[in-house]
Amino acid sequence: MASTTRPNIVLIMADQLAPHFTGAYGHAVVKTPNLDALVARGARFDAAYCNSPLCAPSRAAFMTGQLISRLGTYDNASDFAASVPTFAHYLRQAGYRTCLAGRMHFVGPDQLHGFEERVTTDVYPADFAWVPDWHHADQRIDRWYHNMDSVLEAGSAVTAFQIEYDEEVGYATRRRLMQYACERDTPFALVASFMNPHDPYVALPAFWNLYEDDAIDLPDTTIDTVVRDPFSARVLDGIGANAAVTSEADIRRARRGYYANVSYFDSKIGEIVRTIDEIGQLDNTIFIVTSDHGDMLGERGLWYKMSFFEHSARVPLVIAGPGIAAGPIASPCSLVDLLPTMLDFAGASDLPLGQPVDGRSLAPMARGGDEDDGCAIGEYCAEMTATPVFMIRRGAWKYVHCDDDPPQLYNLENDPLERANLVADPACADIAADFAAEVASRWDSAALRDDVIASQAARRVVFEAMQTGRRTDWDYTPPRDASEEYVRNHIDWTVAAVKTRFPPPGD
């Protein structure tokens, strides 16, 4: 494949991967050799956050560079408008081939959102079935709310739906990269987005057997070692943790399954990097590895996401490739920063933006420039609450606000496990007041709540109507025309042999 003047971009995304549970971020047990290798030659962002700790809202923010309060993508059943430009649209404008392999949890009839092609379906439904109801925020939707089954049933299996899916994503990614090599024309931007290590915590035996129960560390903060804030109390009820009886063995087994699936995801990173090397593009490809949110994994008694505590809200972010300087970066950042970052790498920062973007480019820091005074903004407008929840991370400080709950203020340098809420500490009064004033100036919480409730009501009507009569599904089915594949009567096999061979004959 001929070298291009602009780098290819390969973004590898996990689902529900907290950086705390990777060797690349210093965990003593979890094995991530392929991510470690990228960190050794790339930039590791140590304070990267999602913009909403839930799959669909986080991914919509990631795709558009916009916060969910601007987009209206509030929960896992919020439609993502086709009129909103994404990084895939902009990169296409810049001359890149764009491809999505894997999940992105797009809700609504547009299942491409700027990607030229999508080579797999998604895991979860694309309709409005999972709409919360803030008028009855304390009622579980048993059909889809998280419960503790993933913890109590963790273990090893030779297959499961998330394993089957990720195997398909890995195969489709390698196949498309090989096709890019054979086409030898323009730079490409490919997103490979995997399901693991998202629960259920069920792992293939080869990865399960990388770990032993006795070696699995238990949570640093148990439910009895921290003051339970009201939002956490609601989440504990919502996921059924208060009603479930979990033993230390259950917790170890669930964490072992998660660790095993982190290593499984890491193996997919390795497969993709090796494929890029095989097609001769290792020195011309920017790799970005991240996740949509993290997983509490038993910390504070909490599991899964839906929280602005570090294990839920922080994400790994590693960038490696030509021109990238190796080393850690402490400046807070978030997923909305990736759109301008990728445009910067593509040499397309001067493209006119169709809508305002809430992020900034991380490329200057990744290239070894001075760190900026970054800020990460989080918004949560989904289940387990009836009022928007906001987070601001700046410097050492994190501030969390919800109109229904007492505010929270943490100094993450001194208290990385967030055990001491300093909002009432007289020594922090000015800091807390400044954050409170910033929340009031950034958001109209009451107006946002009204919009969320109106959106929920409208989507419930649409969903119920679509269950009547002939069903229309938005779930994506990748197009495939077998008559144009391999060797056919109108396709000379000698031509096909040359077109699909890399390196080509004579190289």
Catalytic residues: 55, 105
Q: Where are the alpha helices (DSSP H) in 154-243?
A: 161-183, 205-208, 230-238
Q: Determine whether 166 is exposed, middle or buried from the number of CB atoms within 10 Å of its CB (0-12, 13-18, 19+).
A: buried
For residue 370, count other CB atoms closer than 10 A to its CB: 7
Compute the half-sphere exposure of residue 464: CA atoms within 13 Å on the CB side of its CA.
6
Residue 410: which H helix or E strand, with range?
A: strand 405-411
Between vectors from CA 20 to CA 15 and to CA 26, what angle results, nearest 5°?
130
Do residues 162 and 123 lie in contact, with contact meaning Cβ atoms separated by under 8 Å?
yes
Say which amino acid occupies 162.
Q
**Pairwise CA distance, residues 147 & 462, whole Å:** 27
Are 19 and 316 in contact by the 8 Å Cβ rule? The answer is yes
Partnered with residue 393 across adjacent β-strands are: 376, 398
Residue 415: other Cβ atoms inside 10 A = 14
Burial class (CB in 10 A: 0-12, 13-18, 19+), 141: middle
Q: Using CA atoms, how far apart are residues 477 and 111, in angstroms rounded to an integer?
A: 9
Rounded Cα distance between 201 and 195, Å, is 11
Q: How far apart are CA 97 and CA 82, in angstroms?
A: 19
The two three-digit tokens of residue 313, written as one number? 């809200």
State the Cα–Cα distance between residues 225 and 132, nearest whole angstrom. 31
Main-chain phi, psi angles of 206, to 5 degrees: -60, -30
Contacts of 380 (CB under 8 A, 6+ apart): 52, 53, 54, 57, 306, 308, 388, 389, 390, 391
Given the DSSP bridges, would you call strands 397-402 and 389-394 parallel, antiparallel or unpaired?
antiparallel
CA distances from 158 to 76, 207, 219, 464, 467 (A): 29, 11, 28, 37, 35
